[in-house]
A and B are shown apart, each in its own frame.
Chain A
Amino acid sequence: RKEVEQDPGPFNVPEGATVAFNCTYSNSASQSFFWYRQDCRKEPKLLMSVYSSGNEDGRFTAQLNRASQYISLLIRDSKLSDSATYLCVVVPFSGNTPLVFGKGTRLSVIA
Chain B
Amino acid sequence: DVKVTQSSRYLVKRTGEKVFLECVQDMDHENMFWYRQDPGLGLRLIYFSYDVKMKEKGDIPEGYSVSREKKERFSLILESASTNQTSMYLCASSLFTSGSDTGELFFGEGSRLTVL
Contact = CB atoms under 8 A, between A and B. Distances in A.
Given A96-B50, A104-B42, A43 B98 contact: no
Contact of B105 (A94, A97, A99): A99
Interface in B58-83: 58
A87 B108 CA distance: 17
Main secondary structure of the interface of A (DSSP, over half): loop
A99 B107 contact: no
Contacts of B99: 94-95
A98 B108 contact: no
Interface residues of A, number: 21
Contacts of A95: 98-100
A93 to B, nearest CB: 9
Interface in A74-111: 87, 91, 94-99, 101-104
B24 interface: no
Interface of B: 31, 33, 40-43, 45, 48, 50, 58, 90, 96-102, 104-105, 107-110
29 contacts: A31-B100, A31-B102, A36-B105, A42-B109, A43-B90, A43-B107, A43-B109, A43-B110, A44-B43, A44-B90, A44-B105, A46-B105, A87-B42, A87-B43, A91-B100, A91-B102, A94-B100, A95-B99, A95-B100, A96-B50, A96-B96, A97-B102, A98-B33, A98-B45, A98-B58, A99-B102, A101-B43, A102-B42, A103-B42
